[in-house]
């Protein structure tokens, strides 16, 4: 019943949005049109059925939703105020919220919304400057989540230079500014990434390297209440996380009529002496851009315990975090102008130290999605 109510609410919102668009195209006064043109909305709602089956604890079968609301406001030329909210009770890597059978939807729907973007963005030529809380700016080959989950936000000051051949990103952030942070001491994060893009005869080649230096993790309590696979004693980190990343990505425009991407990446934490290496390889065919288009991505990932900070790596693969390996298949189909159908399938092995039984554990996860975008 709750899913039906939420779906009807979405349809009503879309109807209102369509009416608003009509009004905007024929404004009574030019000045009103100019003012409304300063607002750029981007919103989406995802309904998900999910199953999680593993050998070391009870299985889960649940219905979930994710709501994301975003707007960019042109304050003056090249300066924008960026505001975004998402469901999920401030989870730093996920906006998913499970439907609760024992609670009315109204009791937790609005309560779960939190700001994940709130800052200023200034553009000057090829440069972009961001201050405040904003979505990550790092380049990720085929959207790899080896180091950074899709939903991670940065809290600080970040800069990016981007042209036809180069992407340079640097920033100083503080993860403990996240609303959900429970770390005892403040943590600072310095990011630096360089990507070189080369056009070949029939393809594009992207080579990149990054440094992500956390200051204040060793001896500190976990950031969000869980080790997420990292080494800790009584909830206290025993290692630093000074992470280097390298990757290569090849993009082919037409393979059997579809775009094809192939990528490989490695990550190494020189703040830990052992269990500090990880890698992934991936291939993606197609792109769900126009109605009727589809895409499918396969990846294999292997992350040792302290290869990267588990709190910020992929929150779906392995159940979130590190200390595991396995396969992931992600597929998406564009069924309508603003409608997508998707499925994600994970077949993983959790290492013994990441298992509730102290033995290697099979971990299988299935996610079936319906996604509606509205503006």
Domain ranges of the chain: 125-374
First-residue to last-residue Cα distance in the chain: 26
pLDDT tens, position by position, 159-169:
999 999 999 99
Show the tokens assigned to 220: 């500190």
CA distances to 17, 120, 346, 358 from 324, rounded to whole Å, are 44, 38, 12, 13
Phi, psi at 323, each rounded to 5° = 65, 45
Average pLDDT over residues 232-238: 96
pLDDT for residue 19: 39
Q: What is the rounded distance in angstroms from the CA atom of residue 170 to the CA atom of residue 323?
A: 28
* Residue 1 pLDDT exceeds 50: no
- Determine the average pLDDT of the residues in 45-67: 96
Q: What is the pLDDT of residues 58-107, one digit of tens each?
A: 999 999 999 999 999 999 999 999 999 999 999 999 999 999 988 888 88
* 106 backbone dihedrals φ, ψ, rounded to 5°: -65, -20
Q: What is the CATH architecture assignment of 125-374?
A: Beta Barrel (2.40)
pLDDT tens column, 243-263: 999 999 999 999 989 999 999
Q: Is 370 exposed, middle or buried (0-12, 13-18, 19+ CB in 10 A)?
A: middle
Vertex 344 angle, CA 343 and 345, to 5°: 125
Express each pLDDT in 114-127 by its tens digit: 999 999 999 999 99
Element counts in the chain: helices (H) and strands (E): 2, 19
Whole-model pTM: value is 0.89
Structure token pair of residue 256: 């059997």
Which H or E run contains 7?
Answer: helix 2-25
60-76 and 153-162 as β-strands: parallel, antiparallel, unpaired? unpaired
Q: State the DSSP code for 86.
A: E
- Cα distances from 182 to residues 43, 136, 186, 187, 332, in angstroms, run 29, 21, 10, 11, 36
């Amino acid at each position: 019943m709750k899913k039906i109510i939420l779906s009807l609410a979405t349809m009503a919102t879309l109807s209102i949005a369509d009416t608003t668009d009509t009004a905007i195209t024929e404004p009574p006064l030019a000045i009103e049109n100019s003012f409304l043109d300063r607002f750029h909305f981007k919103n989406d709602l995802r309904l998900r059925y999910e199953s999680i089956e593993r050998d070391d604890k009870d299985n889960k079968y649940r219905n979930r939703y994710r709501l994301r609301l975003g707007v960019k406001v042109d304050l003056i030329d090249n300066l924008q105020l960026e505001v975004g909210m998402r469901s999920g009770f401030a989870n730093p890597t996920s906006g998913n919220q499970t439907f609760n059978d024992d609670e009315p939807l109204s009791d937790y729907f609005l309560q779960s919304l939190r700001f994940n973007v709130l800052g200023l963005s200034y553009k000057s030529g090829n440069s972009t400057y961001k201050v405040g809380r904003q979505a990550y700016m790092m380049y990720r080959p085929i959207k790899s989540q080896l180091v950074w989950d899709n939903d991670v936000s940065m809290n600080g000051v970040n800069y990016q230079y981007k042209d036809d051949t180069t992407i340079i990103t640097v920033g100083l952030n503080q993860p403990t500014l996240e609303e959900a942070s429970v770390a005892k001491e403040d943590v600072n994060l310095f990011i630096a990434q360089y990507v070189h893009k080369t056009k070949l005869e029939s393809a594009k080649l992207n080579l990149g390297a990054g440094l992500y230096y956390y200051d204040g993790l060793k001896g500190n309590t976990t950031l969000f209440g869980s080790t997420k696979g990292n080494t800790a004693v009584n909830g206290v980190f025993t290692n630093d996380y000074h992470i280097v990343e390298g990757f290569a990505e090849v993009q082919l425009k037409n393979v059997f009529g579809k775009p094809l991407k192939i990528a490989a990446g490695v990550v190494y934490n020189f703040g830990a002496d052992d269990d500090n290496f990880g890698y992934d390889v991936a291939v993606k065919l197609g792109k769900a851009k126009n109605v009727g288009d589809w895409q499918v991505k396969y990846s294999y990932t292997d992350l040792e315990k302290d290869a990267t900070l588990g709190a910020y790596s992929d929150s779906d693969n392995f159940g979130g975090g590190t200390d595991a390996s396995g396969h992931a298949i992600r597929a998406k189909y564009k069924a309508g102008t603003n409608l997508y159908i998707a499925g994600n399938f994970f077949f993983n092995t959790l290492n013994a130290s990441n298992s509730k039984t102290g033995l290697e554990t099979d971990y299988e996860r299935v996610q079936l999605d319906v996604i509606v975008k509205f503006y």
